Structure 1
Amino acid sequence: MRLSGRTIAILAVVLALVLGGGAFAAFSALRQPSVGSEAASAVRSQPGVVFPVVQPASAVTAPAADATEVNPAAPVTVTAKDGTLDNVSLRSSTGDDVEGTVDSSRSVWTSSGQLKFNETYTLSYTTLDAAGRTTPSTSTFKTVSTSNEADAAMYPLDGMSVGVAQPIQLTFSEPVKNKKAVEKAITITSTSGQTGAFHWFSDTVVRYRPEQYWAAHSTISVKMDLFGVDLGNGQIGNFSKTDTVHIGDKRTAVADAQAHTFTAYINDQPVHTWPATLGDTRFPSAKGFLVLMEKQRKAHFVAASIGLKPGDPANYGELDVEYATRLTPSGEFIHQATDTAIPYLGVANVSHGCIGLGPDGASWVFNNMTTGDVVQIINTEGDFANFNDGFGDWNIPWSQYANG
């Protein structure tokens, strides 16, 4: 029996009512095309399927592209956005590769190798997005130029043995404005457990000493993490290293301008007392603590260097002395007294500020005392030597020194 179109339509309505409309909906769906849109999708394949929008991956670099005067201590980073990283490299203009590592998510790469000053670097990397698309990129930057590179020299030298009164001195090639940053970058320790303080004598010279003399036979370690430290005015520290200084016996001396004597001590025990002559009333010896600096078996003195001119009764012209041990750069020494001064040893002060001793005393000091040992001059009419005329650190009260 053939059913008419009208009959079929009526049966379909009845069936839909019986089944609650589900079959009709399914039937309808089979006949209707998909209404899902592909237009907004970045990825299109088979018709009728809806795909999410996939953002292309990008990355942010530090330093930024074309940056100049980049601190070589600052790590170089590449941070991916909306994707991951692949094939990251950092290479100098001379072809040296800088090592680096990527994190577990492959979203951040960080350099681990050290950069150089005055160098151009090329950073190359590839980003990968969720759709599998890759994008290669490159950028370049330049590190701090040589003109902004700051160095420093330490005294005593690495491995040197010195006396208990020797301060640690750093002399910078450029003025330091960020002094606290520099102090923070330097760690000084001693096997004796002594701590100390920094004192700036100028924008380029800083010294460090403990409150009391270094302990005899201790070892001092000076760790200088100055690479990349901003000294101020665009000057950047260019090195990091650790130096070691050894302290010997405690060797000290007392020169008495009134008693005309010089007494030497080793580890606080007196070992010798010799007659001496110190500076006369016109040129009194400096008072206080003077640290031994250097030794010259024979030294040549020139009167003009201390302002004496021909015709001046104190002018001695030029002369050579034996066993000279320097106390100040300005010209105070311990040395063997000249022939004309020998009769005044233990009797009167006739020198131009130096400490004159007989051959035995001068040679003993020369052969048994060393850099960093200290002489205290008492009962003199002279004032303290300038604090930066040699190592005048011990003449500065500790409360002032530690806050300098």
Structure 2
Amino acid sequence: MATSWKRTWSTAAAVTGALLVVAAVPGRSPEAVAAPSAPLPEAALTLLVGRAVEEGGEAGSAWCPVRTFRAEACGTWRERRVVATARGAGSLLRDPVAGRGETLPTDPGAPLEIALADERSGRLTDISVRDGHGRHLAGALGPEGTRWHNTEPLRAGEDYTVRVDAQDGAGTPVGVTMAFRTARPDGHANGPGGGGAGAPDDGKPGGAGPDGGRGAGAGGAERDRLTVDFGPRPGTYGAGEIVTAELSHPVPADDPEARARLEGALQVTSEPRVEGAWHWVDDSTLHFRPRTYWPAHTVVRVRSGLDGVRIGDHGYGGPSEPLQFTVGDRIEAVTDSAAHEMTVRRNGRVIRTIPVTTGKAGFLTRSGVKVILGKEYKVRMRGDTVGIKKGTKEFYDLPVFYATRVTWSGEYVHAAPWSVDAQGEENVSHGCTGMSTRDAAWFFETVREGDIVEVVNSGGARMAAFDNGFGDWNVDWRTWLSGSALATTTAAAGAEDSGPATPLAASRLRPTT
């Protein structure tokens, strides 16, 4: 079920009694707050800061469409008028609709919209929204520079600082800084005993109930928050490594808005920058990969921005451990089954050519790109584990050394001393890629998890994308993007402030001159 923007503002601090706290931009001289009837300074712009409110426990209407940014134009939509001045101080003007001291409860999924009161009076140049942890809130500026809105949801229980830079009609820079707080994710309203934005933040999952105890369901809400387990483990991996995200609770495909909100909060950054995207494997699993293999020596960072974010009807996100890993040299091993030969490259240069044997008729080796899943010095291989009956001529039960796994079902690159005479000449295996013990030992020591193993001209079935290892690279880019709830190409940036690998990458708008 889609969730509309039905939100509100709360008090920024209990001592202010105001919906917005307006202050001077740091490092600039403060200016006295003007009375509602006072004339505007010579260089100034009046801004509209909008939100939707909940009245009597009922949510407001949907987000106002473009060009209808006016109080009462969209049901319970509200606005505040704020003056941005040349010295960076701000004046909070009286809202003729919302009463003074209004402290309606905030839903942290609220839209935040900032616009010019008069679209001909100037333009917005930079909007920076940070939470109390220093994280930027992504947003988008309209093409004419007259309005801005957030493109990722606010987090529950957070203090936000909004810095607005603009230019008046003469090109004079003006600015203002505002602050507000969102309600906590336990469903309590703001105000006395509510545990919301207007109450002290004691770090507990709810305010006091009527009987002096904690609000009903608060502890359960904390336990039921959706979290993410990222993979792989920290370490160094090959250029084909896939980033995985396992959700603690499923988000079904029939709720695309919730999926998009969740996906947009899973942020991947890399040094150097790459193009990449998430793909939903199932209701509880996402994979992230670049458009092409990771460049050698890339540093990849993955984090969740879900903590405190409302995910439609699926509750709130909780805290998740971030991940960082490094990509080593780019190792690619390409086996041509028709030529009975494997070519191994490091960073594009051939470092070894190995005679091999692959799957014979009836046991053809899977074609396509696979990713090394692990290495096992010794493995016992039995035919009955892959459907070959004991007692038949094809049955085998062998100790195998230097086994490098490429599928969960048991396909390996390994030492096969019993087939040395066939290696480089014909395909005699039951599906694995066999080579001499010397070559297998070298391969075993050279590769790592995440390195690329590709098989061509085998005549075998194509490697499955998801159900037997990492066959993700066999999915063409257009199809990969179709598995994203955000349905767009993404870019992993070189640093946190450069933006996440989602369409919400523009977390800041740089000022223009």
Place the TM-score, normalised by the shorter chain, in its bin: 0.5 to 0.7
Alignment check: 8 A CA contact 2:228 2:304 kept: no
Amino acid at match of 1:202: D
Tell me what 2:183 maps to: 75
Tell me what 1:182 maps to: 262
In the alignment, the residues of structure 1 paired with residue 375 and residue 202 of structure 2 have an alpha-carbon distance, to the nearest angstrom, of 44
Q: CA deviation at 1:59?
A: 8.5
Query: Is 1:216 equivalent to 2:291 in the alignment?
Result: no
Deviations 1:112-139 (A, max 9, x none): 56555xxx64269xxxxxxxxxxxx997
Distance 1:360 1:176, change over 3 A: same
Alignment check: 8 A CA contact 2:369 2:463 kept: no
Tell me what 1:379 maps to: 457
Query: Is 1:320 equivalent to 2:406 in the alignment?
Result: no
Specify which of 144, 162, 173 is matched with residue 248 of structure 2: 173
Alignment check: 8 A CA contact 1:162 1:245 kept: yes
Tell me what 1:329 maps to: 408
Distance 1:115 1:306, change over 3 A: farther
Q: TM-score, normalised by structure 1?
A: 0.67
In the alignment, the residues of structure 2 paired with residue 115 and residue 309 of structure 1 have an alpha-carbon distance, to the nearest angstrom, of 60
Question: Could you say what secondary structure the match of 1:380 adopts?
Answer: coil
Query: Is 1:226 equivalent to 2:338 in the alignment?
Result: no
Following superposition of structure 1 onto structure 2, how do residues 64-143 of structure 1 map, counting pairs within 5 Å? 75-76=183-184, 109-110=198-199, 112=201, 115-116=204-205, 121-122=207-208, 140-143=215-218
In the alignment, the residues of structure 1 paired with residue 282 and residue 102 of structure 2 have an alpha-carbon distance, to the nearest angstrom, of 49
Distance 1:60 1:391, change over 3 A: same
Structure with the larger RCO, 1 or 2 (CA within 8 Å, 6+ apart): 2
Alignment check: 8 A CA contact 1:75 1:110 kept: no
Q: CA deviation at 1:299?
A: 1.1
Q: TM-score, normalised by structure 2?
A: 0.54
In the alignment, the residues of structure 2 paired with residue 89 and residue 78 of structure 1 have an alpha-carbon distance, to the nearest angstrom, of 5
In the alignment, the residues of structure 2 paired with residue 185 and residue 395 of structure 1 have an alpha-carbon distance, to the nearest angstrom, of 26
- Supply the RMSD in Å over aligned alpha carbons: 3.1
Specify which of 326, 338, 342 is matched with residue 420 of structure 2: 342
Following superposition of structure 1 onto structure 2, how do residues 2-401 of structure 1 map, counting pairs within 5 Å? 75-76=183-184, 109-110=198-199, 112=201, 115-116=204-205, 121-122=207-208, 140-143=215-218, 144-145=220-221, 148-158=224-234, 160-177=235-252, 178-230=258-310, 234=314, 236-316=316-396, 318-337=397-416, 339-388=417-466, 389-401=468-480
Tell me what 1:52 maps to: none
Q: CA deviation at 1:262?
A: 1.1
Distance 1:382 1:238, change over 3 A: same
In the alignment, the residues of structure 1 paired with residue 262 and residue 194 of structure 2 have an alpha-carbon distance, to the nearest angstrom, of 32
Amino acid at match of 2:245: L
Alignment check: 8 A CA contact 1:279 1:285 kept: yes
In the alignment, the residues of structure 1 paired with residue 224 and residue 342 of structure 2 have an alpha-carbon distance, to the nearest angstrom, of 50
Distance 1:281 1:231, change over 3 A: farther
In the alignment, the residues of structure 2 paired with residue 322 and residue 235 of structure 1 have an alpha-carbon distance, to the nearest angstrom, of 49
Q: CA deviation at 1:341?
A: 1.8
- Percent identical pairs in the alignment equals 29
In the alignment, the residues of structure 1 paired with residue 451 and residue 344 of structure 2 have an alpha-carbon distance, to the nearest angstrom, of 11
Across the two proteins, how many residue pairs are aligned to each other? 302
In the alignment, the residues of structure 1 paired with residue 330 and residue 102 of structure 2 have an alpha-carbon distance, to the nearest angstrom, of 66
Alignment check: 8 A CA contact 1:152 1:172 kept: yes
Q: CA deviation at 1:269?
A: 0.3
Larger Rg: 1
Q: CA deviation at 1:365?
A: 1.4
Distance 1:299 1:123, change over 3 A: same
Question: Could you say what secondary structure the match of 1:255 adopts?
Answer: strand
Question: Could you say what secondary structure the match of 1:258 adopts?
Answer: coil
Deviations 1:324-382 (A, max 9, x none): 11101111111101x43222111111111111111121111111100111011111110
Alignment check: 8 A CA contact 1:164 1:372 kept: yes
Distance 1:72 1:277, change over 3 A: farther
Alignment check: 8 A CA contact 2:307 2:318 kept: yes
Question: Could you say what secondary structure the match of 1:277 adopts?
Answer: coil
Distance 1:172 1:355, change over 3 A: same
In the alignment, the residues of structure 1 paired with residue 217 and residue 451 of structure 2 have an alpha-carbon distance, to the nearest angstrom, of 48
Question: Could you say what secondary structure the match of 1:344 adopts?
Answer: coil
Alignment check: 8 A CA contact 1:199 1:402 kept: yes
Deviations 1:222-252 (A, max 9, x none): 1212224455663543323421111111111
In the alignment, the residues of structure 1 paired with residue 395 and residue 428 of structure 2 have an alpha-carbon distance, to the nearest angstrom, of 13
Question: Could you say what secondary structure the match of 1:223 adopts?
Answer: strand
Deviations 1:192-241 (A, max 9, x none): 11121111111121111111111111101112122244556635433234
Distance 1:312 1:232, change over 3 A: farther
Amino acid at match of 1:189: T
Distance 1:78 1:393, change over 3 A: closer
Amino acid at match of 1:376: E
Which piece of structure 1 moves more, 225-234 or 192-201?
Answer: 225-234
Q: CA deviation at 1:400?
A: 0.5
Q: Higher strand share goes to which structure?
A: 1
Distance 1:282 1:78, change over 3 A: closer
Alignment check: 8 A CA contact 1:151 1:239 kept: yes
In the alignment, the residues of structure 2 paired with residue 138 and residue 275 of structure 1 have an alpha-carbon distance, to the nearest angstrom, of 73
Q: CA deviation at 1:111?
A: 5.3
Alignment check: 8 A CA contact 2:383 2:390 kept: no
Deviations 1:155-210 (A, max 9, x none): 1113x110111111112233223321211111111111112111111112111111
Distance 1:297 1:231, change over 3 A: farther
Question: Could you say what secondary structure the match of 1:212 adopts?
Answer: coil
Alignment check: 8 A CA contact 1:72 1:115 kept: no
Distance 1:62 1:236, change over 3 A: closer
Q: CA deviation at 1:402?
A: 1.3
Question: Could you say what secondary structure the match of 1:384 adopts?
Answer: coil
Q: CA deviation at 1:62?
A: 7.3
